């Protein structure tokens, strides 16, 4: 890329400049002893062609929509189609959430995303003792197909795509979605959307778990196999770094552990006998957009490059669609502060910009009040408008991958790629991510990073405005959304009425069929659909899983 002679002379000139710089700092000392990212990655004062001396444009970047996809997975990127604006929403009852969906669609949202309450995420119905006090609190309560029908009332499922952030019971929510679509007259091969369905990062970070790792993997591969044949437009898994990062990892750890999880899913599906090119194009990813701007952009670019090489070289995928890392982004919840909450709008806007400059396919922007409660209508509207301003006013969508060729961004992309590959190789040596998780390796790395960061914040080495600097006594009261305590009672009443009115013999028969499949090797998905269609509940299905496969308990490491 560079002329050797010119590079030599540039090296000398840079060395001289660095001497001058050192001199200058004697008079004007640097503000900090050490400059580093939020992940504590050290950053130099200046980057030049010397930092990317071996840079080979075609090998490192290529063109948008072409291998290795560093510049983006689509040829036209945002000049053709903007990213999907997908606001993660769920509150109280299915009726409450349905109203929020209609509100957001009316205001220009372009895709739906369901946030479930804790009992639904963990596979319990609203009337289970562990659900007490949690029904509808941090998302919508879904017990059966009856709730799912209300949730999508008036929303044609052939016109919108839906993302469902749920893991152990992901297959059940997908089954309910298919059933609602078919009731609307929409065939399963017409619907589009995503289930998160990523259990590995649950064991690592988010901790909504139900079954032990091995049966969890079986259930995931069952959904991949089923959708490959029957629901071809569905993203069968959203391999997620978001929660790894929220748990306190560094950007490199997020990148490495997420891709290591991805490798394990591909391997598991290949081991089942599936052809890699049949299912790999429907794998999707999900990353965090944290506050350290350039580090995030480098992370997304490195992720695309690593994944395309892994798919091509390690798994010998032939279809270019299998090489593409498509991803959703959410701005970092953990970067928001309860103090001076309006500052969160600014943080979210910068984070969203990094996701867009990094080439995301869809985006959720956090609301300013999400550190305190589920978002109010007012707050979620500002968050959606943040994306619309970014997309249609700022001009950042006019050209593709505008930061390519920046000495700093390319050097950082290379460095993060190398550091992530070191982790991936280490995990390979351990025997893969399942083995590493059993040893507590990624969990330990994350806990250490989280603790180190907290120490830096407590010591004032990292600034959080309004928390450890520019602290203000002035209260800024904001409107907080409260979930009515009657939601829980009403939901339990609905569930009781359902169990009395449905055909309980048909439910039992369908559950028996599921149990037989679970005990054998048959794909469980068709049986799950049979149960939900006769209004068997989420927990009735999960109880079968728990009885057949056992449960997983948090080892409680700290």
Partner 1 sequence: MAGKRKIRILVAKPGLDGHDRGAKIIARGFRDAGFEVIYTGLHQSPEQIVEAAIQEDVDVIGLSSLAGAHNHLFREVLRLLKEKGAEDIPVFGGGIIPDEDIPKLKADGILEIFTPGTKVEDVVKWVEENIHPRG
- Which stretches of the chain bind partner 1, using CB under 8 A? 118-119, 121-122, 124, 129-134, 137-138, 206-208, 246-248, 334, 337-339, 371-373, 447, 450-451, 454-455, 458, 464, 467, 480, 483, 553-558
CA separation for the pair 318, 310 (Å, rounded)? 12
Which structure tokens are listed for 514? 């599921």
Do residues 250 and 39 touch, judged by C-beta distance below 8 A? yes
Q: At what angle do helices 407-430 and 293-309 cross, to 10 degrees?
A: 50
Shortest spacing between CB 419 and partner 1, in angstroms: 22
Shortest spacing between CB 147 and partner 1, in angstroms: 18
Nearest in space to 330 (alpha carbons), one of 152, 199, 163? 163
Shortest spacing between CB 331 and partner 1, in angstroms: 17
Instruction: Using the minimum distance from each CB to partner 1, give the nearer residue, 26 or 553.
Output: 553
Do residues 449 and 250 touch, judged by C-beta distance below 8 A? yes
Shortest spacing between CB 478 and partner 1, in angstroms: 11
Which structure tokens are listed for 484? 């009515």
Instruction: Using the minimum distance from each CB to partner 1, give the nearer residue, 7 or 447.
Output: 447
Instruction: Using the minimum distance from each CB to partner 1, give the nearer residue, 167 or 530.
Output: 167
Q: Give strand pairing partners of 362.
A: 84, 328
Instruction: Using the minimum distance from each CB to partner 1, give the nearer residue, 93 or 322.
Output: 93
Instruction: Using the minimum distance from each CB to partner 1, give the nearer residue, 32 or 557.
Output: 557
Instruction: Using the minimum distance from each CB to partner 1, give the nearer residue, 109 or 246.
Output: 246
Nearest in space to 110 (alpha carbons), one of 363, 456, 443? 363
DSSP-assigned letters across all residues of 462-530? S--BTTTBS--------------THHHHHHHHHHHHHHHHS-HHHHHHHHHHHHHHHHSSS-SHHHHHH
Instruction: Using the minimum distance from each CB to partner 1, give the nearer residue, 80 or 557.
Output: 557
In three state form, how does the secondary structure of 289-325 look? ECCCHHHHHHHHHHHHHHHHHHHHHHCCCCCHHHHCC
List strands edge to edge, sheet with 84-89: 234-235, 193-195, 162-165, 111-115, 84-89, 362-364, 327-331, 283-289, 237-240
Shortest spacing between CB 136 and partner 1, in angstroms: 9
Shortest spacing between CB 443 and partner 1, in angstroms: 10
Instruction: Using the minimum distance from each CB to partner 1, give the nearer residue, 121 or 157.
Output: 121
Which structure tokens are listed for 304? 């695309």
Shortest spacing between CB 68 and partner 1, in angstroms: 34
Shortest spacing between CB 248 and partner 1, in angstroms: 5
């Amino acid at each position: 890329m560079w002329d050797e002679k010119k590079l030599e002379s540039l090296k000398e000139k840079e060395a001289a400049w660095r001497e001058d710089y050192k001199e200058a700092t004697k008079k004007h000392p640097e503000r900090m002893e050490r400059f580093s990212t939020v992940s504590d990655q050290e950053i130099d004062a200046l980057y030049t062609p010397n930092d990317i001396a071996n840079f080979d444009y075609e090998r490192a970047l290529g063109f948008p929509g072409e291998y290795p996809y560093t510049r983006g997975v689509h040829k036209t990127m945002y000049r053709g189609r903007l990213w999907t604006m997908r606001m993660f929403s769920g509150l109280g009852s299915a009726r409450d959430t349905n109203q929020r969906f209609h509100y957001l669609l009316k205001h220009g949202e372009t895709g739906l995303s369901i946030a479930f309450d804790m009992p639904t995420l963990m596979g319990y119905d609203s009337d289970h003792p562990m659900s007490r006090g949690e029904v509808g609190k941090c998302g919508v309560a879904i017990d059966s197909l009856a709730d799912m029908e209300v949730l999508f009332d008036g929303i044609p499922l052939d016109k919108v795509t839906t993302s469902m952030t749920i893991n152990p019971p992901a297959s059940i929510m997908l089954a309910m979605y298919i059933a609602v679509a078919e009731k609307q007259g929409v065939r399963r091969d017409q619907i589009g959307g995503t289930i998160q369905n990523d259990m590995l990062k649950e064991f690592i970070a988010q901790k909504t778990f139900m079954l032990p790792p091995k049966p969890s993997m079986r259930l995931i591969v069952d959904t991949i196999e089923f959708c490959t044949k029957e629901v071809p437009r569905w993203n069968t898994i959203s391999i997620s770094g978001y929660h790894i990062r929220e748990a306190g990892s560094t950007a490199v750890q997020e990148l490495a552990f997420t891709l290591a999880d991805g490798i394990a899913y591909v391997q598991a599906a290949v081991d089942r006998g599936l052809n890699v090119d049949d299912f790999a194009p429907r794998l999707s990813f999900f990353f965090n957009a944290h506050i350290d701007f350039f580090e995030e952009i480098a992370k997304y670019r490195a992720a695309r490059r690593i994944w395309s090489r892994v798919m091509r070289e390690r798994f010998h995928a032939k279809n270019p669609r299998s090489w593409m890392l498509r991803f959703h982004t959410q701005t970092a919840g953990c970067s928001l502060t309860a103090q001076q909450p309006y500052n969160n709008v600014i943080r979210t806007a910068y984070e969203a910009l990094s996701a867009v400059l990094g080439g995301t396919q869809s985006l959720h922007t956090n609301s300013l009040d999400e550190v305190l409660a589920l978002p109010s209508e007012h707050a979620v509207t500002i968050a959606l408008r943040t994306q619309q301003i970014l997309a249609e006013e700022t001009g950042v969508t006019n050209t593709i991958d505008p930061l390519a060729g920046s000495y700093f961004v390319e050097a950082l992309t290379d460095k993060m790629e190398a550091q992530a590959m070191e982790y991936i190789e280490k995990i390979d040596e351990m025997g893969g991510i399942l083995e590493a998780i059993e040893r507590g390796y990624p969990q330990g790395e994350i806990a250490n990073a989280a603790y180190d960061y907290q120490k830096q914040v407590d010591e004032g080495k990292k600034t959080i405005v309004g928390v450890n600097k520019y602290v203000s006594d002035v209260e800024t009261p904001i409107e907080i959304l409260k979930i009515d305590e009657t939601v829980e009672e009403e939901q339990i009443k609905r569930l009781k009425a359902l169990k009395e009115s449905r055909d309980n013999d048909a439910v039992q028969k369908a559950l028996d069929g599921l149990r037989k499949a679970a005990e054998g090797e048959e794909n469980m998905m068709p049986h799950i659909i049979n149960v939900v269609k006769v209004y068997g509940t989420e927990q009735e299905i999960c109880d079968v899983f728990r009885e057949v496969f056992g449960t997983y308990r948090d080892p409680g490491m700290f």
